[in-house]
Structure 1
């Protein structure tokens, strides 16, 4: 059985490919330069002998790829989606629309599948905060009291691996979360504890957050993200036991991921993310 892992350069795809290989599975790992699943054709070679597929949501039309996958005999797929697909503050926004469209296309393909919804990824801490923390600057948050349930990307990959190789938990959806709900500023404090130093959090208003928007981030997407953060203030983040139920071990805490990636925040030579 060959498992096709699309997006094998990503933080979850790379872990998934490594986990499957460690389990003795035959893996065909691809990156965007090698396989564009929004292309109109040309999928015959990559889909040969593939039994199951791991997919990321994408902005382009994946209908031709999915049709080719079904014709090639692919029996099962896991789609990494986002809670933005259904959460009240985001599902009407651009992020929610993109993910719902990917889910609808997969459902229409006729391939048996599970949509995987991970909570706030621990890697977001590195993406959003590491530059400021390395520089000794405050971490600026528009809604520091919004609650999240950070999940280790390795837990997402392990759940995906189980789904791709064993049928027991192949429901229509699986919502996977970290073990606890915490505020964003509490998550920053976890990083500080690991570094043995205090990290200042500076609350900023919505207008300031919009004014600081990066050019690559559209105003519509930023507005949706801010709406979601505002909705999470004062409300515990959803928690599930899906990681433990599917993998047989508890979800790992944020502190564990931060310790594994301490160099990214400490300003030392940054190695490959773990």
Structure 2
């Protein structure tokens, strides 16, 4: 059986590839740049681009199952080509924002394209990625041991990318996941202030927490560049999920209650979901 992993060099796709290889599966990895993919030995790396479905013919040949990175604009064409090529099962990397009704433009069209195809499908819907804190806070931690965070006591249950990959891998390899949409969160409600402390403990040095206003944080993030600049308006509440203007004062969301824990990877894998402290340990070198 050949399994195609699209977005194979992404933060989750790369881990899906590794877990499939560990399971002894034949893996084909789709990437725009095969020469710099850096994937495990034995993986068949092919060039292709989900933005250009015509480039996928070779990648889809002989594939039975597929992990699908979400590209809304071409999803129906890509899924149609996959079905014609003989793909029977598709696992979609989606978002918990679909469950909450916030996402109608990005992940939802991909989910619907797969469901309408008649293929076996599973949607993996992670909430907030722990990794966001590496892209957002990592540069300032490395440069000055400081985190600029205007909402330090805002708390949620961010999810480890390893848990997302393990659920996706289970859905690719095991039966019983067809027709399921798995919302994924971390196992603990943790404030951003506590996250900073966890990172400091993992790297073995103090990290100062600076609490700017949202406007000041937007300026800092834009000057920082990269992920912070690209996502500053959304992360700070100046725009909503669809890119419409909003008020940072609306950032506060109701926290999960002790009586209603959010779903985690454990419900699929049978193993406890990873904590933020574990994630910080896993990425300590990236913050130093």
Shared fold by TM > 0.5? yes
Alignment-derived partner of residue 150 in structure 2: 142
Q: String of CA shifts for 1:168-218, please: whole Å, max 9, x gaps.
A: 233330011111111112111110122233322222223233444537627
Is 1:252 aligned with 2:260? no
Contact 1:3 1:53 in 2 (8 A): yes
Please state whether the residue corresponding to 2:272 is helix, strand or coil: coil
CA distance change for structure 1 residues 233 and 145 in 2, over 3 Å: closer, same or farther? farther
Alignment-derived partner of residue 236 in structure 1: 256
Q: Distance in 1 between matches of 2:156 and 2:218?
A: 21
Alignment-derived partner of residue 123 in structure 2: 115
The equivalences for 1:170-209 within 5 A come to 170-209=178-217
Q: Distance in 2 between matches of 1:79 and 1:198?
A: 39
Contact 1:146 1:229 in 2 (8 A): no
TM-score by structure 2 length? 0.81
TM-score by structure 1 length? 0.84
Unaligned stretches of 5+ residues in structure 2: 34-46
Q: Distance in 2 between matches of 1:36 and 1:229?
A: 39
Instruction: Identify the match of residue 71 of structure 1 among 84, 89, 104.
Output: 84
Q: Distance in 2 between matches of 1:233 and 1:218?
A: 19
Is 1:47 aligned with 2:67? no
Deviates more, 1:200-209 or 1:227-236: 227-236
Task: Tell me the matched-pair count.
Answer: 261
Which 4+ runs in 1 deviate beyond 6 A? 225-229
Contact 1:38 1:64 in 2 (8 A): no
The alignment's C-alpha RMSD in Å is 2.6
Q: Distance in 2 between matches of 1:218 and 1:252?
A: 25
Alignment-derived partner of residue 58 in structure 1: 71
How far the C-alpha of 1:230 sits from its partner, in A, is: 4.5
Which one scores higher on RCO, CA 8 angstroms, separation ≥ 6? 1
Q: Distance in 2 between matches of 1:224 and 1:65?
A: 28
Unaligned stretches of 5+ residues in structure 1: 267-274
How far the C-alpha of 1:156 sits from its partner, in A, is: 1.0
How far the C-alpha of 1:220 sits from its partner, in A, is: 6.5
Instruction: Identify the match of residue 224 of structure 1 among 240, 249, 271.
Output: 240
Contact 1:5 1:28 in 2 (8 A): yes
Contact 2:218 2:233 in 1 (8 A): no
Please state whether the residue corresponding to 2:265 is helix, strand or coil: helix
Is 1:13 aligned with 2:7? no
Q: Distance in 2 between matches of 1:76 and 1:229?
A: 43
